[in-house]
């Protein structure tokens, strides 16, 4: 069991990480919500719209504050504004303002402020106060006043109730709506004369951005509509608001003919349009009648503040700050044109399942394929998540959280990448150790092989040979054995294949050759013995092409055997070239039954030079990138002023071993010329 866990540790850790991330999403703490909000806000920033509106905002701005003085203003100002508005016949007028205290200029407040004796100011008491005038104008208008949820009681509160009548189907809305124990509103005298009371309560947002609000909310166990919904109800001349519920909670809220799909708690997500200056008009201009009648006709009118000193400014998903009254304007527009956003509970489940599938796919592929390809899978999955999210938003107005799925996929991908790095690191370390071991073995084999090459420096006046390995271990070989003062056995061979195995095979052949030549056997018998021993050695699939020879330096007679090797080059003093082709197959393939199967040739080397080389010479690359070939060997010899065995071999080696990083093949070459047979004495 322990071995199984260790082997699949990466998958166990991945499952733990994924489970933790999904559990966090289910708990949905504040910092996880903030991740989701990134995508919700991005949708609106990219697809922000600029469109005409049926909502007009009367702005308590810096200009109007300068006209009427500090806020709150005398109620007669608002009474006159209502008078001016009523001439244009707006659909509804909403006050995003509280009138919680009596007007300071009402008769009662003046008497109290100056400690006047009521009998002395009886005429003053009979005057109609600003609140009374304002209440009359409210009654004549399609007006709505704001109420706000509170956790503490208000000193001027009374037992208010909503103007809208709620009808429900499928359950009790009170069980699912957000609730406040108390409410804050305006004077009872004013609220009694309006057609609607609308909530302006926003849900607490950690970052202060208003993304959603409840369409209905409870104050002191009574249900109230939000300001936007209440204005639509009044503007549509409806008395009732309908609430449809299912087993999960609130499903739909209607103020005929408008129906709004909400979440189970009656919340909608606001879709903001781009703010427009032409939607605003200064309160001072309305008071003075500086507007066209059509500006307010059949419009929803909101009265609120944008002035900095009144502190009614909020942040939106668009990344801008707007007056709070404009939030309610957007809610009205969303209800009227059904452009509100939906956060479907089923979408939440889809996000979780989709995140798990994509995370599994990303992690498993990161473990199975190369990192550069798994990176493509990772970015492809992220792109797919983003495209799905934006498509659903664009065509269905649904909010799909792509931020957290991307977060999950990123974490799981990095987890997979970490384990892949650990695994690759282990493999790389193992390969390095293996390569170090192989290098050591090759170096040892190369050292052993070099020791097999004979020291023929004392013969270099008439026999010279050289081997340049392409790798650590060469598959080529040469040897010279002096059997008598006048007779020399020699060989130059090329083993099929490369590397340590070829080197071992070559070592086997060379040891047999030396043993048999030291016994002074005829050349045919030497080759017969070497071949049969190599066949018995059972180096599967390997063979040797070779030239064997026996030279008498006194008579110049040279007996040679070409066993499947390159053509032998001979030339005279006038550089007339002749090639002697092989007339035997390579050795080590088929066992010889009699020495007669070995065919030899004889030539006389007086006034001739004998050159033999492996295919690494003719197929070797020169600096210009072309192969040397037999013609190249001839060209080298033709350009030489003094021709000796040593000068020939070294000139060929210099032409091919010119500094390339790796040779194409081993370079092995031998030249024989008996014009000077004097032995060189070692120092």
Residue 226, CA distances (Å) to 126, 182, 208, 433, 621 in order = 38, 16, 19, 74, 88
Which helix (H) or strand (E) segment is 241 a member of? strand 240-245
Length of the chain: 683
Q: Whole-model pTM?
A: 0.66
Q: How confident is the model at residue 7 (pLDDT cuts 50, 70, 90)?
A: low
Query: Could you report the per-residue pLDDT of 139-151, keeping only the tens digit for each?
Result: 999 999 999 999 8
DSSP readout, 8-19? THHHHHHHHHHH
Res 162: pLDDT? 95
What was the pLDDT predicted at 349? 87
Q: Looking at per-residue confidence, does 48 or 422 come out higher?
A: 48
- pLDDT 10s digits, 80-113: 999 999 999 999 999 999 998 887 766 665 556 5
- Residue of 550, 491, 542, 472 lying closest to 668 (CA atoms): 491
Residue 374 CB neighbour total at 10 angstroms: 21
Residue 128, pLDDT above cutoff 80: no
Domain made up of 454-672: CATH architecture = 4-Layer Sandwich (3.60)
- Higher confidence at residue 425 or residue 80? 80
Give the tens place of pLDDT for each residue, 207-252. 889 999 999 999 999 999 999 999 999 999 999 999 999 999 999 9
pLDDT in tens, 370-396: 777 778 888 888 999 999 999 999 998
Q: Read out DSSP for 314-369?
A: EE-TTS-EEEHHHHHHHHHHHHHHT--BB--HHHHHHHHHHHHHHHHHHHHHHHHS
Band (pLDDT 50/70/90 cuts) for residue 565 is very high
| pLDDT tens per residue across span 247-260 | 999 999 999 999 99
Residue 647's pLDDT is what?
93
pLDDT of residue 445: 58
The tens digit of pLDDT for each residue in 487-511 reads 999 999 998 876 667 777 888 888 8
Give the mean model confidence (pLDDT) for residues 15-37.
87
CA-based Rg of the chain, rounded to a whole angstrom?
51
pLDDT for residue 124 is more than 60? no
Checking if the pLDDT of 581 tops 60, the result is: yes
- The overall average pLDDT reported for the chain is 88
Domain(s) of CATH 3.60.40.10: residues in the chain: 454-672
């Amino acid at each position: 069991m322990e071995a199984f866990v260790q082997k699949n540790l990466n998958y166990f850790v991945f499952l733990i990480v994924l489970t933790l991330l999904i559990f966090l999403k289910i708990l949905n703490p504040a910092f996880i919500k903030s991740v989701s909000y990134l995508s919700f806000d991005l949708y609106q920033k990219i697809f922000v719209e600029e469109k005409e509106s049926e909502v007009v905002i009367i702005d308590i701005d810096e200009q109007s504050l300068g006209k009427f003085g500090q806020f709150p203003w005398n109620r007669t100002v608002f009474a006159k504004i209502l008078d001016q508005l009523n001439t244009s016949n707006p659909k509804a007028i909403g006050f995003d303002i509280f009138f919680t205290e009596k007007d300071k200029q009402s008769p009662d407040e003046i008497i109290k402020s100056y400690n006047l004796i009521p009998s002395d100011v009886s005429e003053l008491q009979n005057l109609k106060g600003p609140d009374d005038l304002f209440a009359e104008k409210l009654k004549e208008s399609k007006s709505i006043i704001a109420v706000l949820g509170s956790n503490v009681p208000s000193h001027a509160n009374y037992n208010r109730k909503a103007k809208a009548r709620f009808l429900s189907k499928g359950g009790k809305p009170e069980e699912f709506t957000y609730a406040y124990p108390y409410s804050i509103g305006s004077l009872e005298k004013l609220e009694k004369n309006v057609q609607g009371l609308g909530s302006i309560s926003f849900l607490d947002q950690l970052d202060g951005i208003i993304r959603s609000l409840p369409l209905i909310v409870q104050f002191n166990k009574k249900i109230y509509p939000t300001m936007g919904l209440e204005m639509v109800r009044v503007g549509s001349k409806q008395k009732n608001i309908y609430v449809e519920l299912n087993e999960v909670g609130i499903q739909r809220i209607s103020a005929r003919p408008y129906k709004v799909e909400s979440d189970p708690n009656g919340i909608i997500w606001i879709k903001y349009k781009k703010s427009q200056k032409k939607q605003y008009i200064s309160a001072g201009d309305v008071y003075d009648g500086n507007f066209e009648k059509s500006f307010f006709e059949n419009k929803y009118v909101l009265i609120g503040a944008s002035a900095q000193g009144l502190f009614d400014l909020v942040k939106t998903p668009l990344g801008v700050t707007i007056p709070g009254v404009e939030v309610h304007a957007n809610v009205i527009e969303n209800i009227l044109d059904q452009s509100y956003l939906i956060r479907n509970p089923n979408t939440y489940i889809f996000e979780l399942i989709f995140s798990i599938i994509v995370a599994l796919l990303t992690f498993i592929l990161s473990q199975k394929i190369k990192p550069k390809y798994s990176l493509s899978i990772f970015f492809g999955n992220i792109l797919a998540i983003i495209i799905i999210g934006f498509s659903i938003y664009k065509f269905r107005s649904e909010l799909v959280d792509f931020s957290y799925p991307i977060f999950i996929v990123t974490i799981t991908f990095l987890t997979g990448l970490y384990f892949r790095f650990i695994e690759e690191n282990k493999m790389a370390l193992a390969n390095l150790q293996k390569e170090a071991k192989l290098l050591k073995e090759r170096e040892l084999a190369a050292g052993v092989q070099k020791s097999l090459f004979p020291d023929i420096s004392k013969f270099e006046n008439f026999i010279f040979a050289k081997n340049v390995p392409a790798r650590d271990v060469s598959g080529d070989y040469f040897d010279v054995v002096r059997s008598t003062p006048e007779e020399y056995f020699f060989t130059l061979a090329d083993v099929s294949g490369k590397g340590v195995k070829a080197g071992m095979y070559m070592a086997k052949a060379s040891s047999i050759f030396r043993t048999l030549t030291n016994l002074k056997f005829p050349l045919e018998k030497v080759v017969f013995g070497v071949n049969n021993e190599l066949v018995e050695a059972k180096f599967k699939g390997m063979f040797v092409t070779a030239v064997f020879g026996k030279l008498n330096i006194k008579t110049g007679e040279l007996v040679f055997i070409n066993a499947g090797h390159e053509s032998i080059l001979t030339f005279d003093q006038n550089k007339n070239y002749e090639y002697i082709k092989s007339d035997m197959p390579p050795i080590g393939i088929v066992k010889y039954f009699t020495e007669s199967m070995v065919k030899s040739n004889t030539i006389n080397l007086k006034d001739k030079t004998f050159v033999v080389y492996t295919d690494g010479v003719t197929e070797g690359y020169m600096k210009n990138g072309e192969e040397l070939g037999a013609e190249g060997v001839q060209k080298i010899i033709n350009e030489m002023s003094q021709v000796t065995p040593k000068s020939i071999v070294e000139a060929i080696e210099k032409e091919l071993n010119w500094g390339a990083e790796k040779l194409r093949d081993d370079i092995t070459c031998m030249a024989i010329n008996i014009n000077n047979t004097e032995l060189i004495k070692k120092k």
